[in-house]
Structure 1
Amino acid sequence: MRQRTYGHLPSELNRFVGRGGELAGLMRLLESSRLVTVTGVGGVGKSRLALAAARALDGGADSGQGSAGGAQERYCDGIRLAELACVRDPALLELTLAEALGLTDHTTRPPRTVLAEHLAGRNLLLVLDGFEQLVDETADLVQELLLRSPGLRVLAAGRRPLALPGERAFPLAPMAPDEALELLVERAAEADPGFGPDAQERAALAEVCARLDGIPLAVELAAARLRVLSPAQVLTRLEDRFALLADGGARGVLPRHRTLRTAMGWSHELCTPAERLLWARLSVFAGLFELDAAEYVCAGPDLPVEGLLDLVGALLAQSLLVREETAAGVRYRMLETVRLYGAGWLESTGDARRLRRRHRDWYMGLATWCELDWFGPRQREVRSLVEAELPNLRLALECCLDDPDEAHLGQYLAGTLWFYWAGCGRLTEGRHWLDRTLEPGPSGGSGQQEGPYESSRLKALWVLGYVAALQGDAVASMSALYECREGAAQTQNAVAAAYSVHRLGCLALVSDDMTRARELLGSALEQYRAAGELNSSVLMCQVELAMALAFQGELAGAVSLCEEVREVCEERGELWTKAYALYVLAYAALDAGATPEARRLLSECVAVNHAFHDLVGLVLALELLALVTVAEGHPAEAAVLQGAAEPMWDGVGLQLFGSGYFNAPRLMCQERAGELLGADRYAAYAAEGRQLSREALVVRAQLAPGERGRGVPSPRPAGRGGLRGTRAAGRAAADQP
């Protein structure tokens, strides 16, 4: 039976056993405290309990009933989980939280500012799991967010408290004997449906639980052994293991830490040599990984690739691996405690560096293929794949930066992911990695690099220029693009030269310098054709040239360019660039008075941009759709759409970098709808729109006119030439100093 997914929380892989008293106590504590941290030894079930509490509250928020009490009101803006166990770079902490909250921000504002502003007026529960490696940075961030966000509550899970004022620690003890036994029996039955212990066997299993101090992870590892061993055999082997280590435990290690380590070591010893080796090598992965990646990274003469699938199955059977279904397909992961144990063994073999490099090489290859597949029918799959593999891609980027002699690899990888940074709402993170790989010094490039790696640096430079332009940072964009253009000329790199000219044209476009934009974008297209380059970026150059033409009233030329782009995109199955072409075609259709066609084009555009988290494309399409809506005689609904789009500008940048042309449809819609509704009614409808979630807004934007019954006769016909005022307003704004 398909398991229910609670809002934005991951679904349970199996039943949450026991812990009824602890769960009720934790939920009571959350009612009175804004920061609660579940603490305890590794493997004691901190994460599982915190998520169980969050799901119970989420269920309460849906129903308004049950033990969640007032959860519906207290967490009316949702419950979100941020998994931090794989985050090692402090700079990525805030980005990870923003990702968990579903935030997309294209500006150069510090991510902490974006987080604080987003949370300031919201009632939300944020669950933080696995913060130990960044405890100080996490504590600092949580304290600031709690101070600035009165409606925020935080439920954290870690081995130690955050040590903040007002924090309530919730120490989690091991399971009670009866609960531990229930867990052991249930997990054993999951692995072997025929498992049914008699009274004597239950007594042996109860002693196993006692030996393991009721630590859930240790109990689950023991349960996996019941597929091949009897309860008495499990107990005997475990007793032998404890006797062996009774006097040899490390000094200063808490008894229950020693218990878990003993249980882990026991599982390790019961693995075959090949299983132990794979366990150690799999520890180089962060989060989820696929079988193909495991085969490439871990296989070798001592671990033949043809036997790896069976070994993965063996580790799954022993609960040392977890299998998960994701949007990108089947993935595997290790619990963090299991991974850390394996990482220790890998370090002891002296093979860790080689394995980390193989891991890096795999993900560089994956990024390369994703860049190629982005220009094709697998574009949505590529987005899901990179999303699923992001923790491993981050790890690969870190590996590149560990060695100054390999900075070019980091530049290549950060540049190759341009489609993800620019096309999937990841500008801030892309800027972080591009800056790091290009900065001079031990962690980046020299700035004067020569030789066979120059092309990697040039690619990173034009991608940085592109990202910075979309963030509204014209100075950084021009600096990177001029350096790229100069380097391309020196090395006769025609492709890099074309990209630098293209992105300078893009910068001119968003800066309202249409004459220069047309010159540069036209030149870039000629250079692309001469170099034989064709991909989504090249087609976007053609769309941007069409925008410059459209804004200057040359709609026939703009339509011709975008029809050509649409044809190529449909042949290739490309969606992202096609959405921008549809925007220009809708702009022309509205100018011609063909509002039904404009609405159809924009509805498709909105859906694609939302799917790819492209905030720039989404807000532009929504505001043009609002102008279409008022032209159709529905000013109230237009005001709702305008109000809903308004908060998005905070994430895009103030009025799209001050562009008069891009902002003119919004200003015209406000004027027309305001005249028809009156200032007070317009403001009320706009306020209603500001309360819509992005998902609700996208659904609403695709409704047919009049479905909400807010038609108001328009005194102006929506005939041909309806966008002439838009172009005039754009020119006027562009002429302002």
Structure 2
Amino acid sequence: MRRPFRSGPPSAVPAPAPGNLPAELNRFVGRDDELAALTHHLGESRLVTVVGVGGVGKTRLALKAADALKKRYCDGIWLAELAALRDPELLEHALVEALGLTDHSSRPTRQVLVGQLATRQLLLVIDGFEQLVDACATLVRELLRRAPELRVLAVGRRPLRVDGELTFSLAPMTETDAVRLFTERAAAVLPGPPVTSTSPGPGPGDARSAAVQELCRRLDGIPLALELAAGRLHVLSVEQILDRVGDRFRVLTDGRRGAPPRHQTLRTAIGWSHELCTPAERLLWARLSVFAGPFDLEAAEYVCGGPELPDEEVLDVLAELISQSLVVREKTPAGTRYRMLDTVRAYGAEWLEALEDTERMRRRHRDWYMGLATWYELDWFSPRQADVAAGTESALPNLRAALELCLESPEEAHLGQHLAGTLWFYWAGCGRLTEGRHWLGRALALDTPYDESRLKALWVLGYVAVLQGDSTAAVGALHECREEAARTGNALARAYAVHRLGCQALLTDDMPRAERLLRSALDAYRELGELNSNVLMGQVELAMALVFQGDLEAAVALCEEVREICEDSGERWTRAYALYVLAYAAWTRDAHAEARALTAESITIHHGFNDLVGLVLAVELMALVTASEGDPAEAAVLQGAATRIWESVGPPLFGSGFFGAPRALCERRASEALGTERYAAYEGEGLGLSMSAAVARALAERRPAAAPPHQQPEASRPVRKTRKPAGSPTARGGEAAG
């Protein structure tokens, strides 16, 4: 792939290589020949699929090979983990998420993927696609056809069967490698000097060496089985483990004639570990299988606790499962989380089904995550906003599972509507508009009464559609919500519908109507005692409408009040939008240093929440400030960076009016100063910046260049009017909603 055209001075510090491959937690052992062969195949074929029995080490080998090739791909190596995904319709969303291509537009997600990857040189690693093999094969085929520099490394239990696919079958480890792996993992379980042959752990001597070799042979060299065996060395000797493996092979073989021996062997290995567990450990293992992704201790205690396993005992039992490598503990931005390897989880799910307890546990799981979402919605308007964003991101696979359960039955569809609506802060505030639209659409497609849940889902759907630039869907949902809320006497739902209709008018440049509707909604919020991020956002949106109409003083007063409330409450998301308006006001006064500081804070907050709508607006304003400071070249770079972000948001969304003014002004000023060709070259440099690189560029401190004095064009300054400041969301004088 050709690099984006670059001109001008190079960056002082090279940007880190893009990608999201996880760091290794322990040393990769053996597989030298397989690793060399796989890396060679990746150089020869655009699609390589690593296949093999579960637990044979497919993922670990694929990630090791990918990491060894990271210098070959200028746009990075990206891992998409699909094992927890069950809905084929979410496949494109998962790849968009994994590739960091969050999209806010109303374009089909597949179109977004194809468009974004068309000119990129990257390696996409797809892991755990078996349950979505048909959908995955279709998507991979299209991506490879439309993106000539894309290569795909797939990892699963069977091939995709796509033209041009090279299938790499991964066999169990050789005896030499298996012994090396077992010995190294054993040393991690029992560090220190070697022990005697009758004590737990490997030690010197021919008898011990023979026992280890026999154990590795009996486990067929499957890495998962070897690691499970090594994890038991804190309570059993090698000889004791070997004896028990023999017994469990006979007891736990599924007995199906013709089944691949390796499948039976892995099942035996997992089943043997299951048999070594205490009854409490087995029960927790089965119940934990309802989690579709990472979970925290509180979730495990609520979902899995009960008369047979008291809540207060869950922690100790969980710790035992962790010590046996059946559950993995990991640090995440949301804090400590736990997860099960997919093979282990699947085995537990079979036992849960045998206990005839699956549906009850799924409902307990659903209830916990509905409660979590409700708590997060309340906590969004607090100093914990960033924690809420991280926690919701971590819980997303489980929230999806909860939504799926709600939507399986028409009788529980209202619960799905409630959950999808409750997550408005995540859909709108954390870059998840497309997925939010998916769930809200599915929930509202089911016929339910116009109760509080359905009305909330309607106004949230309208809000999401507004931000995607889909006026038809937005107006339809919001009008329906407003009319049904009036009919059923739900004043709060009506206020939210009127508010978002005002937002729609704002983004379509109907400023008088936007002001009328927003004032009406803010009056209703005051009467109802409603105060949260949505209410404050309505006040900022009113300020934006006033700026466009020339009443800058009233707009500043509104946003200063929002900033004060945000400082008192710890709210940051809405604060970032208020800072944007205040920065624009500072720029109109030629207070460039103040405008830069306010815009930088806005960019930092939006980037932290992955709110691309707010981020791209703030980057464009920073470009205008930079041009006004006398650095048209850097301004052009930022314009290009913003253009690339707009590809994920939807350029028509804020193409004119107040939102389009900074971009148009900056382009005119910078191109006049640089000339058309130089402006295009610097803009091209910005187009080549990744999201993180663009943010870093926008936030970089720089000494303003000396600019020749000039008169600001009349069109660039809002016309000031003498008008009483709007003051607050409680200000009177607004007309009733039309």
The aligned counterpart of 2:248 is: 241
Which is worse superposed, 142-151 or 646-655?
Answer: 646-655
Q: How does 1:642-681 map to 2 (within 5 A)?
A: 642-681=639-678
Match of 1:342 in 2: 348
Q: Which residue of 1 aligns with 2:285?
A: 279
Is this contact kept in 2: 1:188–1:227, CA < 8 A? no
Cα offsets for 1:100-138 (capped at 9, x unmatched) = 110121111011110011111110000000000000000
SS at match of 2:337: strand
Q: Which residue of 2 aligns with 1:48?
A: 60
Rounded to whole Å, the distance in 1 between the matches of 2:287 and 2:251 is 27
Q: What is the rounded CA distance, in whole Å, between the counterparts of 1:620 and 1:726 in structure 2? A: 23
The separation in 1 between residues aligned to 2:247 and 2:645, in whole angstroms, is: 63
Q: Structure 1 residues 562 and 189, CA, compared in 2 at 3 Å: closer, same or farther?
A: same
Query: 1:6 Cα deviation (Å)?
Result: 9.1
- Other-structure match for 1:513: 510
- Residue of structure 2 equivalent to 1:733: none
CA distance in 1, matches of 2:718, 2:627: 16
Q: Secondary structure at the match of 1:606?
A: helix
Give a deviation string over 1:291-327, Cα, whole Å, max 9, x none: 1100000000011111111100111111111111111
Write the mapping of 1:296-695 to structure 2, written as runs, cut at 5 A. 296-439=302-445, 444-446=446-448, 449-450=449-450, 454-695=451-692
Report the equivalent of 1:67.
none
Structure 2 contact 81–126 (Cα < 8 Å) conserved:
yes
| Residue type of the alignment partner of 1:693 | S
Cα pair 1:184 1:223 within 8 Å, conserved: yes
Aligned-partner Cα distance in 2 for 1:611–1:465? 25
Task: Report what 2:6 is aligned to.
Answer: none
CA distance in 2, matches of 1:688, 1:392: 40
**Bigger shift: residues 198-207 or 460-469:** 198-207
Corresponding residue of 1:141: 139
TM-score by length of 1: 0.92
Aligned to 2:219: 212
* Secondary structure of 2:682 counterpart: helix
Q: 1:716 aligned to 2:710?
A: yes
AA of the residue aligned to 1:697: A
1:627–1:725 CA distance, 2 compared to 1 (3 A):
farther
- Between the aligned partners of 2:457 and 2:126, the Cα distance in structure 1 is 33
Letter in 2 for 1:694: M
1:140-159 equivalence runs, <5 A: 140-159=138-157
Bigger shift: 185-194 or 326-335?
Answer: 185-194
For the residue of structure 2 that corresponds to 1:646, the secondary structure is helix
* Code of the aligned partner of 1:258: Q
The residue aligned with 1:65 is none
Hey, what does 2:195 align to over in structure 1?
none
Q: Is 1:376–1:574's contact at 8 Å kept on the other side of the alignment? A: yes
Distance 2:227 2:105 in 1: 46
8 Å Cα contact 1:631-1:717 kept in structure 2: no
Q: After the TM superposition, which of the residue ranges 135-144 and 654-663 deviates more from structure 2?
A: 654-663
Cross-structure match for 1:289 = 295
Indicate if the aligned counterparts of 1:579 and 1:608 stay in contact, CA closer than 8 A: yes
Separation in 2, partners of 1:375, 1:119? 37
Answer yes or no: is the 8 Å Cα contact 2:144–2:151 preserved in 1.
yes
SS at match of 1:647: helix
Alignment check: 8 A CA contact 2:645 2:691 kept: no
Structural mapping, 1:64-79, within 5 Å: 71=72, 75-79=73-77
Look up the equivalent residue of 2:152 and give its one-letter code: V
- State the number of aligned residues: 697
One-letter identity of the residue aligned with 1:507: Q
SS of the residue aligned with 1:141? helix
* Cα distance in 1 for residues equivalent to 2:18 and 2:318: 29
Output the CA distance in 2 between the equivalents of 1:289 and 1:20.
35
- Is the Cα contact below 8 Å between 2:51 and 2:168 reproduced in 1? yes
The share of aligned pairs that are identical, in percent, is: 64
Q: Is 1:626–1:641's contact at 8 Å kept on the other side of the alignment?
A: yes
Q: CA deviation at 1:648?
A: 2.0
* Pairwise CA distance, 1:224: 1.4
1:654 shift after superposition: 2.6
- Give me the CA root mean square deviation: 1.8
Which of 151, 165, 168 aligns to 2:166? It is 168
Aligned 8 A contact 1:39 1:161 in 2: yes
Distance between the aligned counterparts of 1:517 and 1:242, measured in 2?
72
Kindly provide the amino acid, as one letter, of the partner of residue 224 in structure 2: L
Query: 1:658 Cα deviation (Å)?
Result: 4.0
In 2, Cα distance between equivalents of 1:102 and 1:615: 12
Contact preservation (8 Å) 1:676, 1:714: no
- The answer on whether the counterparts of 2:498 and 2:520 sit within 8 Å (CA) in structure 1 is yes
Deviation digits for residues 132-154 of structure 1 (CA, Å, limit 9, x no counterpart): 00000000000000011011000
Q: Is the 8 A contact 2:17 2:76 kept in 1?
A: no
Instruction: Kindly state the Cα deviation for residue 649 of structure 1 after the two structures are TM-superposed.
Output: 2.0
Q: For the structure 1 residues 99 and 726, does the alpha-carbon distance in structure 2 shift closer, same or farther, using more than 3 Å as the test?
A: farther
Structure 2 residue runs of 5 or longer lacking an equivalent are: 1-15, 193-200, 722-738
> In the alignment, what sits opposite 1:230?
237
Deviates more, 1:376-385 or 1:460-469: 376-385
Q: 1:202: which partner in 2?
A: 209
Aligned partner letter, 1:87: L
Does the 8 A contact of 2:629 with 2:706 survive in 1?
no
In structure 2, what is the Cα distance between the partners aligned to 1:76 and 1:8? 14
C-alpha change, 1:714 and 1:111, in structure 2 (3 Å) is farther
Conservation of the 8 A alpha-carbon contact between 2:54 and 2:266: yes
Displacement of 1:175 in angstroms is: 0.4
The separation in 1 between residues aligned to 2:581 and 2:252, in whole angstroms, is 72
Check the 8 A contact 1:316/1:322 in 2, yes or no: yes
**In the TM superposition, what is the alpha-carbon distance from 1:507 to its structure 2 partner?**
0.3
**Equivalent-residue separation in structure 1 for 2:436 and 2:708 (angstroms):** 45
What is the CA–CA distance in structure 2 between the aligned matches of 1:666 and 1:129, rounded to whole Å? 41
Letter in 2 for 1:560: A
Specify the code of the residue in structure 2 equivalent to 1:600: A
TM-score, normalization: structure 2?
0.92
Contact 1:485 1:496 in 2 (8 A): yes
Distance 1:726 1:716, change over 3 A: farther
Q: Is the 8 A contact 1:609 1:618 kept in 2?
A: yes
2-structure distance, mates of 1:11, 1:658: 41
Taking the aligned partners of 1:503 and 1:370, their CA distance within structure 2 comes to 22
Match of 2:89 among 81, 88, 91: 91
- Give the Cα–Cα distance (whole angstroms) in 2 for the partners of residues 6 and 113 of structure 1: 22
Offset, 1:263: 1.1
Aligned residue in 2 for 1:66? none
2:29 counterpart residue number: 17
C-alpha spacing 1:272/1:704, structure 2 compared with 1 (3 Å): closer
Task: Find the residue that maps to 1:309 and give its secondary structure.
Answer: helix
2:264 aligned residue: 258
Instruction: Please tell me whether residue 269 in structure 1 is matched to residue 275 in structure 2.
Output: yes
- Corresponding letter in the other structure for 2:519: G
Deviation at 1:351, TM superposition (A): 0.5
Question: CA contact under 8 A between 2:654 and 2:660: conserved in structure 1?
Answer: no
SS in 2 for 1:154: strand
> Does structure 2 retain, via aligned residues, the 8 Å contact 1:661–1:726?
no
